[in-house]
Amino acid sequence: MFTLLKRIIKAGFTNFQRQSSLSTATVFILVITTVLISSLFLAQYITRAVISNLQEKVDISVYFKEEVSEKEILEVKGELFKIPEVKDVEYISKEQALQNFVEMNKDNPRIMEGLETVGVNPLLAALNIRAREAAQYENIFGFLEKSPFKSLIDHANYPQKKLVIQRLFSITSNVNKAGIILSIILASAAILVAFNTIRIAIYNSKEEISIMKLVGASNWFIRGPFIIQGIICGILSTLIAFSTFTGICYFLGPKLEILSPGLDVFNYFTANFITIFLIQLTVGTGMGVLSSIIAIRKYLEV
């Protein structure tokens, strides 16, 4: 048994070396396929990060009446945190609101003069509410409208922000759908190209397969060297793809971070490099072996 396995492995290496041009083409195609499928894994992270970044910039504010105390507002904050849709609630006191307003408009003399003329703080204390998803703001606003503490609320800015939030929800939903569709198309195309490349390599060996069948070789003895050849191509493609993917993440990281602050692609890659390497190894060797088995089956049945 060990001798037979040794012969199959040796024949696999011999086939790989003898068909150097086709082996190189197979490795090249598997590298492209592996990088493409790995990129889909990375694209999911980028999509989630961009959507999360967009959602972080959207919130709704609930403003409380002048006479409402800070204790009452903090009690409302506690009740809001009990709602599953609520991700975060930030309390902005009247003093903090004024400080933020002054900081934002310090270069506008007309507004600053008008504020000095009023002489008192005209701003209201508020709670800034962030939902987990854009589609959930409608439910949160509905809860506020029916809540026992509605009498404490002066107004909320959800009606003014509703159109922006709906557009955000539409964008995030379309991005997710497009990502799924694109992933399926690219993965399918990559697998088909890899399979056809390996099938061409096996086609060139059809006469050798016929001779082996005539001399009584078993199907597994005939199939074995091509499976080994597929494994070799898969391992080589994984090593090249992993190095290529590392370089892509390293050089692409800073550029993407400019577009979306906090989006650190290279850091995400280094934190998940074992998972990514295992995915690439599975894709590379799996496609090499599976394509070899399927492609050679036609000649074994003749």
Q: Is the pLDDT of residue 302 over 60?
A: no
In this prediction, what percent of the chain has a pLDDT beyond 90?
Answer: 0
pLDDT at 252 (0 to 100): 77
Report the range of poorest mean pLDDT among 91-100, 138-147, 185-194. Answer: 185-194
Classify burial at 162, counting beta carbons within 10 Å of its beta carbon; exposed 0-12, middle 13-18, buried 19 or more.
Answer: middle
- Contact (Cβ atoms closer than 8 angstroms) between residue 9 and residue 266: no
pLDDT per position as a tens digit, 259-280:
666 677 888 888 888 888 888 8
pLDDT at 194 (0 to 100): 66
pLDDT per position as a tens digit, 144-168:
888 888 888 888 888 888 787 777 7
pLDDT at 300 (0 to 100): 64
- Contact (Cβ atoms closer than 8 angstroms) between residue 293 and residue 199: no
60: pLDDT confidence band, cut at 50, 70 and 90? confident
Q: Is the pLDDT of residue 201 over 70?
A: no
Exposure string of 209-233, with b = 16+ CB inside 10 Å and e = fewer, is: beebeeeeeeeeebbbbbbbbbbbb
Mean pLDDT, residues 252-262: 70
Q: Is the pLDDT of residue 122 over 70?
A: yes
pLDDT per position as a tens digit, 187-199:
677 667 767 766 7
Beta strands in the chain (DSSP E): 60-64, 86-92, 126-131, 153-156
What type of residue sits at position 246?
Answer: T
Report the range of poorest mean pLDDT among 31-40, 76-85, 291-300. Answer: 291-300
Neighbouring C-beta atoms of residue 129, cutoff 10 Å: 25
DSSP conformation letters of 216-269: T--HHHHHHHHHHHHHHHHHHHHHHHHHHHHHHHHHHHHHHHHHSTT--HHHHH
Task: Kindly report the average pLDDT of the chain as a whole number.
Answer: 78
CA distance 287 to 285: 6
List CB contacts of 198: < 8 A, sequence separation 6 or more: 26, 230, 233, 288, 291, 292, 295
pLDDT at 118 (0 to 100): 66
pLDDT per position as a tens digit, 225-240:
778 878 888 888 889 9
256: pLDDT confidence band, cut at 50, 70 and 90? confident
Instruction: Calculate the CA 154 to chain-centre distance.
Output: 41
Phi, psi values for residue 80, rounded to 5°: -65, -35
Give Dmax over CA atoms of the chain in angstroms: 105
pLDDT at 183 (0 to 100): 67
298: pLDDT confidence band, cut at 50, 70 and 90? low
Could you tell me the domains of the chain?
Answer: 2-54+170-300 (no CATH), 58-165 (3.30.70.3040)
CA distance 70 to 64: 10
Residue 5, token pair as written in the block = 């396995």
Token pair 């060990």: residue: 2
Highest mean pLDDT of the ranges 67-76, 175-184, 191-200:
67-76
pLDDT at 284 (0 to 100): 80
List CB contacts of 128: < 8 A, sequence separation 6 or more: 59, 60, 61, 89, 90, 92
